[in-house]
Amino acid sequence: MAAPAFDFTPLLPAGLPPPAARWTGLAKFSFVGGNNDPEQVPVEGLIDAVNAVLKREGRTLATYGLASGPQGYRPLREFLAAKLKHDAGIACGSDDILIVSGSLQALDLVNHTLLAPGDTVIIEQETYQGALNRLTRLGVNAVGIPLDRDGMRMDALASTLAELKRRGIRPKYIYTIPTVQNPTGTILPEARRAELLRLSESYGVPIFEDDCYADLIWDGKRPPAIHAMAGNGCVIHIGSFSKSIAPALRVGFIVAPWEMLSRMLALKTDAGSGALEQMVLAEYCGAHFTSHVPKLTRGLRVKLDTLMEALNEQFGTAAEFEEPKGGIFLWVKLPDNVDTLRLYQAALTEGVAINPGPEWSTNKVHSHSRLRLCFASPSREQIREGVAVLADVCRREFGVPVRIANVERHARG
């Protein structure tokens, strides 16, 4: 007879997050997550890069941190310093950058440096679920600021800051995804960035700028980073190679004043992020980043067009959306009676995975009938088929869409 399984439960400390669910595989039609287009991973270039860099520097793997120190592989930080200067106007050197294990680790390090339970932060009303969940878990009060076509609304931010001040609350930071916002796809114009900095300064609240989609803009034109426009070091800027190269590599970075970087380094107790990934990225990106990105965005744009066409065809006017200026997501509004949390459950049983709006928003009423669709990872065929199945499920559950393209819709046989 097998011995009874050891029971760890009485040993678990209080305050652990709920246990993770086992992974059950990707849905047949997966519109979830921030995954990239598998066809666009530059596999050949990465193979050449890994060969070249390992032949030249493989023996440095014998040392924690590759003899580059705890901030990460120096050639990668040098690449980033030059890229950030050229693309985003950020004047920083390689010593102002900390390489981390994906920008998720950046979120953790910034949060653990600045936040305690009961603190207040300001975020965009619709925002990255990973950021939102972290704040909830930390017991932090996240105040959402509504967005419009140009991103976070500065009038709303100004009144929220004034109201919080009246109540004696100084928020710990203003978190923003200003350049191709997740999930709305908006880009905060330069004038709003200047206004954001003005408000940040007058209320003494730093800005946490998450720029991980900034490379994926259709016309390649971006405003300067908020970090680049700040004169007083009040901006912590983070970015990632997840969206431009591949998310499974787990390489991101933080640009911040040493006063903050030194605190984050003290909390980064993993003896350095994966070295091979950093070496390969530095080798590949130095030679190929600027030619890779326009190819990637052209491909993503074609998939976005496919998704918008499929939605127009299958949902007609029942699906409303603003065309995003770049990125990998479409933020969609369905009729008010559609509860996207329920739609998510029903669609999943038919093999279609979507991100329901309430998981990406501080305003559960506003996001009740909204959803986020990632168009980067499914193929164009999967996009067309998946949207058709989603429309069928939505009709069955909520009675919409009623019509498509002026033709009465009949249930699929």
Ligand X SMILES: Cc1ncc(COP(=O)(O)O)c(C=O)c1O
Residues that bind ligand X (CB under 6 A): 34, 102-104, 128, 130, 177, 182, 210, 212, 240, 242, 247, 252
For ligand X, the closer of residues 182 and 377 by Cβ is 182
Q: Where are the beta strands (DSSP E) in 1-60?
A: 29-30
* 226: helix, strand or coil: helix
CA distance linking residue 318 with residue 224, whole number of Å: 36
For ligand X, the closer of residues 36 and 314 by Cβ is 36
CB-neighbour burial class of residue 327 (10 A; exposed 0-12, middle 13-18, buried 19+): buried
Task: Provide CB contacts within 8 A for 213, sequence distance 6+.
Answer: 177, 179, 180, 181, 182, 243, 326, 327, 328
For ligand X, the closer of residues 105 and 314 by Cβ is 105
CB of 243 vs ligand X, minimal distance in Å: 7
CB of 307 vs ligand X, minimal distance in Å: 18
CA distance linking residue 51 with residue 326, whole number of Å: 33
Alpha-carbon separation of residue 250 from 242, 244, 297 (angstroms): 7, 12, 20
CB of 264 vs ligand X, minimal distance in Å: 15
CA distance linking residue 255 with residue 258, whole number of Å: 9
For ligand X, the closer of residues 80 and 338 by Cβ is 80
Task: Provide CB contacts within 8 A for 398, sequence distance 6+.
Answer: 334, 335, 337, 338, 339, 343
CB of 274 vs ligand X, minimal distance in Å: 13
CB of 8 vs ligand X, minimal distance in Å: 29
For ligand X, the closer of residues 104 and 371 by Cβ is 104
For ligand X, the closer of residues 40 and 182 by Cβ is 182
CB of 331 vs ligand X, minimal distance in Å: 13
Q: Which amino acid is residue 131, in one-letter code?
A: A
Task: Provide CB contacts within 8 A for 63, sequence distance 6+.
Answer: none
